[in-house]
């Protein structure tokens, strides 16, 4: 396998949205988890916007059954736009238009069974071809002054290879996350020596967790295509990532901001509070509501 140090631009991003979202049942019985709204837009739109701000041009959704709404959301809605225009609702019309993905830039491919995140990413192999690409998990929102993926692209232009975003977690909670092994965890950008899934606090090689944003070289697909099952009987992305370490540059970047795990109910509620408090139209009302629960 060749060492890939030149930073070819990242123009394609994969959004795995084929999971069952069981932690949100029955809300996710017929509606995709990724369509749950945080503030005024669904999770998937927050993440597509993050990717757009990083210069991503092509958006690849890995979908499954009952996921058609996700495509609809980014489509041109003629009737709605005509009605808003006729009513001179310019600001709303602008918001609706911003949520569209232009013709020829949205690619949807199916993952017939939710066999795991690694398998979902593998489903994009033909569309990605021989290019570096980003992966963004739509149930994790990254809130910072600047788009997390944009921060990563800026770093990637200097480092090349593979790059993942990491965030500090309390040592007592390392057993909930994928944790990186690195020689110097005080650095902003650090070479990754290994990845450990949910280590017990005493055995965790660091307190830096992997948070759902990745830039990969296409060689990742060579490992994913082995379809090896790992933890939980699923084809794990982490296992294929671990095999790239040592063969290509593999770095971690401390994300400047905060992540919200919207795949869990408490994380989702916290994200709604945080995004509500940052929305000038409703921040005051949200503060008033919170006072009543203090
Ligand atoms: P999660 O494991 O958080 O999502 O996967 P899930 O399986 O849908 O949720 P729960 O645990 O049952 O509540 C992270 C992302 O990867 C996608 C999911 O849709 C989610 O956006 N995913 C996961 C796939 O696309 N395919 C899979 O086989 C697994």
Give the start-to-end residue ranges of the domains of the chain. Answer: 12-164+210-264
In the reported structure, the alpha carbon of residue 164 is separated from the centroid of ligand 1 by a whole-number distance in angstroms of 18
Q: What's the whole-model pTM score?
A: 0.95
Residues in contact with ligand 1 by the CB-under-6-Å rule are 16-23, 33-34, 62, 111, 114-117, 119-120, 137-139, 263
Rg, C-alpha atoms of the chain: 19
Residue 270's H or E segment, with its range, is helix 265-277
Torsion sign across C-alpha atoms 100, 102, 104, 107:
negative
CATH number of 12-164+210-264: 3.90.550.10
Residue from 13, 18, 19, 141 whose mutation best tests the ligand 1 pocket (most atoms within 8 A of CB): 19
Residue 6 pLDDT: 67
Whose CA is closest to 252, among 288, 283, 213, 223?
213
In the chain, at which residue ranges do the beta strands (DSSP E only) sit?
12-16, 37-38, 41-42, 58-63, 106-110, 133-136, 140-143, 162-168, 178-181, 189-191, 194-197, 208-216, 250-254, 258-261
Per-residue pLDDT in tens (0 to 9) along the chain, 294 residues: 444 456 899 999 999 999 999 999 999 999 999 999 999 999 999 999 999 999 999 999 999 988 899 999 999 999 999 999 999 999 999 999 999 999 999 999 999 999 999 999 999 999 999 999 999 999 999 999 999 999 999 999 999 999 999 999 999 999 999 999 999 888 889 999 999 988 999 999 999 999 999 999 999 999 999 888 887 888 889 999 999 999 999 999 999 999 999 999 999 999 999 999 999 999 999 999 999 998
Q: CA-to-CA distance for 242 and 221, rounded, in angstroms?
A: 13
Atom 5 of ligand 1: nearest residue by CA position: 19
In the reported structure, the alpha carbon of residue 18 is separated from the centroid of ligand 1 by a whole-number distance in angstroms of 6
Q: What is the DSSP letter of 228?
A: -
Local structure of 197: helix, strand or coil: strand
In the reported structure, the alpha carbon of residue 120 is separated from the centroid of ligand 1 by a whole-number distance in angstroms of 9
Counting from 1 in the atom list of ligand 1, the atom nearest the Cα of 234 is 28
Q: Are 107 and 127 in contact (CB under 8 A)?
A: yes
Residue from 140, 263, 266, 268 whose mutation best tests the ligand 1 pocket (most atoms within 8 A of CB): 263
Q: CA angle at residue 105 from 140 to 251, to 5 degrees?
A: 45
Residue from 48, 112, 117, 137 whose mutation best tests the ligand 1 pocket (most atoms within 8 A of CB): 117
């Amino acid at each position: 396998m060749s060492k890939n140090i030149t930073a070819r631009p990242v123009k394609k991003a994969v959004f795995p949205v084929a999971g069952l979202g069981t932690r949100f049942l029955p809300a996710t019985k017929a509606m995709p988890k990724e369509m749950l709204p945080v503030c005024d837009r669904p999770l998937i739109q927050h993440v597509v916007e993050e990717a757009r701000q990083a210069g991503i041009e092509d958006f690849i959704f890995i979908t499954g059954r009952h996921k058609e709404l996700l495509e609809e959301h980014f489509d041109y809605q003629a009737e709605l736009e005509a009605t808003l225009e006729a009513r001179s609702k310019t600001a709303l019309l602008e918001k609706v238009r911003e949520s569209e993905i232009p013709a020829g830039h949205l690619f949807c491919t199916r993952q017939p069974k939710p066999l795991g995140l690694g398998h979902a990413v593998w489903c994009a192999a033909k569309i990605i071809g021989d290019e570096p690409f980003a992966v963004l998990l739509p149930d994790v929102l990254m809130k910072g002054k600047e788009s997390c993926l944009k921060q990563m692209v800026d770093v990637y232009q200097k480092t090349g290879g593979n790059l993942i975003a990491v965030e500090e977690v309390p040592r007592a909670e390392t057993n909930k996350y994928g944790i990186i092994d690195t020689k110097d965890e005080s650095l902003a950008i650090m070479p990754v020596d290994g990845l450990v899934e949910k280590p017990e606090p005493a055995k965790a090689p660091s307190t830096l967790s992997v948070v759902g944003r990745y830039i990969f070289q296409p060689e990742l697909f060579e490992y994913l295509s082995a379809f090896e099952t790992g933890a939980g009987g699923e084809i794990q992305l982490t296992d294929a990532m671990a095999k790239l370490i040592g063969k290509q540059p593999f770095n971690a970047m401390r994300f400047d901001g905060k992540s919200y795990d919207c795949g869990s109910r408490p994380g989702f509620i916290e994200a709604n509070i945080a995004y509500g408090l940052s929305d000038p139209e409703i921040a005051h009302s949200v503060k008033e509501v919170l006072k009543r629960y203090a």
